Structure formats: structure tokens, C-alpha cells
Amino acid sequence: MGEGDKSSYEEITYEGYGPAGIAVMVEALTDNRNRTAGDLRHYFDKCGGNLGQNGSVSFLFEQKGIIAIENADGKISEDKIFEDAMLDGVLDIKYEEEGIEIATDPYELRNIRMALEALGYSFASAEVEYVPTTYTKIDDPDMQLKMQKLIDLLEENDDVQEVFHNWDMPEEPDEE
């Protein structure tokens, strides 16, 4: 930004309900909160949801640090990561074929990341996220399409940084 640019950006978290009552949290970085709120309200309305007030859905989420470690080559054993990640502030470890996910106290994320980095781990990501306390399924295919459309519209907006929701998304059908 140049010296003549007086715009200042602010971080804002928006909350709302998507189709079928799916809770949605949207983190935005904007220089015009009215424009961003108007855009988001339009997306929610267009897809059969509604943008809510602060606190309308945040109680359905917990903030957690989420560390993702790629392990597609399988070089990190389950025993090794469980041993190395036994640190204060680690809440959960999920070991899967494609990678490892470590959930942390959000205030301990930085310390845990640094401790694992010192042990030689590299990360796909390490961020504080809103994690749903419960998930909601959508059985109606039309509602599923509307919810996916809402997520796509939100993610395509330049001001939107992250979109979190409690939709228990269906597995992608296997290509045959």
C-alpha cells in the first residue's frame, strides 16, 4: 500500500445459518464492513439461509489450533507422532493415511508447532479454526447443492479468509 492509501483493514467474523439450518462462521478481512456484510447477506439469502447476529451460531463451535502434517509417504509412524506430540495443550491426534491432524488449545498452537518443528516436522498448515461441536447432515440433494453453492460463493469473495460450517458433507462418489 502506498502512502496515499488510507484504507485500513479489519478482521470481522460473520455468523449465519445456511440451508437446512447449517451453522456457518465466516472470517473476513475487509476495508469496508458494509460492503462485505451486504455481499455475505446476499449470498446467504440467495442460497436459502440468513446472515445472523454475533453469537447466533458461535456457540456451536469451539476454537482450536489445528496442525496438519502431510504423511502420504507413510514415513511418520503412528507411535512416533503420538510419542512426539504428547505435549501440554494437545487435545487430540488423528492419524490417517494421507496425513496427521493435531488439535490443540488455541493459545498453545504456537508453542506446540515450535516444539514439533524442533523435532523435524514440517506442516501443511497450522491455524486456529472454528471446529463444530456437532455436525448436521443434509439428506435432500437440492439442499446439498444450495449449501455447496453458499460455501463456493463465500470462498470466492475476496474479503473472505475462511469459512467454517457444521455440515456433515457426503463423501464424494468414487469414480468408476
68 and 112 in a common domain: yes
What gap in Å lies between CA 21 and CA 96, rounded to an integer?
30
Say yes or no to pLDDT of 1 above 50. Answer: no
Distances (CA, A) of 110 to 27, 94, 127, 132, 148: 20, 19, 9, 22, 32
**CA atoms of 39 and 45, how far apart (whole Å):** 10
Residues 70 and 96: their CA atoms lie apart, in Å, by 10
Q: Which residue did the predictor score with more confidence, 2 or 16?
A: 16
Same domain, 82 and 123: yes
CA pair distance 51, 72, nearest whole angstrom: 39
Residues 90, 115 within the same domain:
yes
At a CB cut-off of 8 Å and minimum separation 6, what does 6 contact?
none
Question: Residue 164 — φ and ψ, nearest 5°?
Answer: -120, 145
Whether 51 and 137 map to the same domain: the answer is yes
Mean pLDDT of 53-59: 95
Banded model confidence at residue 172, pLDDT cuts 50, 70, 90: low
On whether both 138 and 54 belong to a single domain, the answer is yes
Mean pLDDT throughout 112-131? 95
From residue 87, how far is each of 77, 104, 123 by CA, in Å? 17, 9, 17
Q: CB burial class (10 A; 0-12, 13-18, 19+) of residue 104?
A: buried
Residue 21 located in a structural domain: yes
* pTM of the predicted model as reported, rounded to 2 decimal places: 0.84
What residue numbers bound the domain in which 107 lies?
Answer: 63-131
- Same domain? For 111 and 82 the reply is yes
Q: Tell me how far the alpha carbon of residue 18 is from its chain's centroid.
A: 16
Compute the distance between CA of residue 25 and CA of residue 136 in angstroms, rounded to an integer.
15
